[in-house]
A and B are shown apart, each in its own frame.
Chain A
């Protein structure tokens, strides 16, 4: 295997390990960590670990075409099942970014987002410290 391919492969595995350990550190206490652990477990079972990461990366690179509507209007629209005209808002995008977000009520989504973001920040700090430890 070329050295560059090896580095790329290791990078993917390090990234997987980072998200996996972040979710496991929180355990069952949060909806997002439960959803993330399940997602990682399923993608591991299918032996397509990298497909999950690639799919997430593709989602991130998609341009946000929808505008931001009113958050309260979205809350009301979601309660109307089968409503043909959903108001577009940042809430939809947030649901896609937070693991398990699609199934959450709005209030739960906002709380889970706060915790998820704090954990991501900690993750970044931990990885920076590890990188600085190398001579």
Chain B
């Protein structure tokens, strides 16, 4: 297969891994490293921050000072997340992007912008309804992507599904 050898020598493969703060994303990243990663991959971790606090408190919108405080808090939080995600790329070539907007749309658009070969996602997290096995973001990306998508499922997802009792998955 001389063809594929010259291809990899010529350019790095761009791998887009969409992540949020949930452990599903971490699992997806680990899965990628364990089963998919190739030495010359260039990994782009995409984080689409959601401004939780501000959006969920409509009543504070009247007080500019409070809103700007919250925005500041959010900005700091996002910086923290980006920093944590960057650490994952320590030994491999890559970068972290943080782009605001509708997660599904941002993921698909970014994949086109960077010329990604594949998109890697967790199956939940990113503001999904707990009942579903496939989150709304993964669903969106699945149906709008022009390139292959790897949806990583963690065994956890199926332990929680259908359990009416405690849901240890507290994070969003």
Real binding pair: no
Q: Name A residues whose Cβ lies closer than 8 Å to a Cβ of B.
A: none
Q: Name B residues whose Cβ lies closer than 8 Å to a Cβ of A.
A: none
